[in-house]
Chains A and B, each alone.
Chain A
């Protein structure tokens, strides 16, 4: 677009120069060319108007769309436009006024009057001279007509001299000269126009002739009088006319040179003045038109060029503004092409340097942030996967951070507890009353809350004993006022420790008790054998009863000790792959009788698992033994067994409709010496639990709502350890 505008402006200016030339030099450029130039200039003016209108429209669109730099361009264009418009308009108005007045000043009434006066004077002078030569001519003609032909020559000479006539010629109608007289030394016979002869035949007439003097170049005016000479009078006097025809007298008299020159000049100037007078309006129009075209082309070219200049000036600023916006959005890679070495160029250079510095700083910050985030997420992952509950609280006991285990332990809603008071976030406040009280005391005690303190809490949850250890410690000084609570659920640890202790007790008991039992039994049997026959019947009976009791009790002790030994023993498992359904079937067959209905619910033929088959058989026998005991006094006793395969686990569910397990012991049923049976050792289910745990499985037991017990054993199908 800028090239079009520049081209149009240059062509327009060239046209104006041609227009001015054509006005000043009429020979150089014809009127048609001038018209064409005017038309072409008008066309270019319209072209510029159209171009500017397009530019204005585009600029306004840009302003409407809030394109950066458009407003600045608009302001610059308006400024440039005004800067041009005001002075050019003033110059235009002054020029038009000056021009009009200048043209008007050429036409003064006095000048016109003077010229008209001069012309009239010339006319009058010529009239007087014409009248004079007419009278003289008539007089000579009269005299000639009354004179004899032989005397006419002398008369003609006399009268010519008398009237101071330059030339006098008497000629016939056919143009032949009869008499001639001249004041000049050399007289060339004059050529007589036939039209003049014809006209003179009808009557006299005066002819005015203009000519240029070849020698001096001056204007000359000649008066020529043609007067017919009547020859009737000579005929009356019987004078034979030479030609016997009517003759014509031609008198030639020049107007004095000084008068002729002035008269011709006045006439010429008058004509030129009249031409100017008639051209006055045209001149005004043409000059005004040319000036208007100059004004329009100058203003429009300037405005058009102002668009180019404004864009050139505003482009770096617009780019800067645009780049600033981009930087505000976070795009530090915005680079502005450098242009020029002026202040704008320096500004652009500085901006680019600043951008690149910002970019590198941002990259570093991003890098640092990324590593920080990685570290944080690493910590978060650790925290999340920690079994230990971690809660960070502040002075006001509001939760600042907590992990998944803490949420699980205190029943927080994940992601909702932050910022809440710890006491409000915990769902079961009663359960953790002691813990909360301890924390409160810790926080309120300025001596305590600078140290790390840990304490153990025991409470019952769903009839299960729960043991937790709370470790509370203040965080580093930088985040003063924050405390980290580390809560460990050590219930299972305690349980395991207890089991280990029981195992140790059992092992020692087995060792210490088993050894003397055999001698005791042997000795009791020996006593019976040796002394029963020696004693009377009554004493022998007592002895038998006593020794039998001793042996029975020793056997009972042995069974008990064996069970203890079994519990404490951790023999190596003999794992093999076998069909659990088949094992279940075998055990069920053992216990199925008329009085006990055992059903197995499983559609598939087999589920193979890797486990110690004998140990699992022991588990199942133990469970079915317990079931049988529980169903002893129950009408229509039944046991339902189901197998279920869940991905990589197998679930064995055994359910009876027996008397169930008393509530008091159900949660501790897998502990040693916990039993509801009168003659039970309380080691059966403890051993079952131990075997299942050794298989990396779980066992759960619960009373059914109506009656009976449901045992769920989960075993991995592939047991590598």
Chain B
């Protein structure tokens, strides 16, 4: 498979994180990818003020923010923000990721949830994934955001229940040749 190749030179990113050390880490990683147009804010309040009339191509939001949880900001972006920014990819970064926290982030309308520690590989591959896998946008009473059903799990596990298959099992449980002939 060909190596991924992303051009992040013209991308504008919003980083919402109240911890200066975490910001330094993420910002350093993104600079390594040549994503230099970074705006950093420490709280959801500042982020909302910027997003009311600004646009960002991608938003990295820490789940644990001072004052309000990061997923509340994601909900706000999906419901209240104007223009294209409503549809912009939002990646939630979380430190302690139990299943409840991950489901909450997913249900808030985030495109992806990344568990800390973030590594350059993970960040690069997730940006690549977000841009390669276009998902329809869902708007309903209980959820606004990218379609959460993005994993193809195939047919359900368990016993085959189709009538003709059951007939085959009854007639020739161990005889592969007979099954092929049928």
Q: Are A and B genuine complex partners?
A: no
The residues of B with any CB-CB pair to A shorter than 8 Å are none
The residues of A with any CB-CB pair to B shorter than 8 Å are none
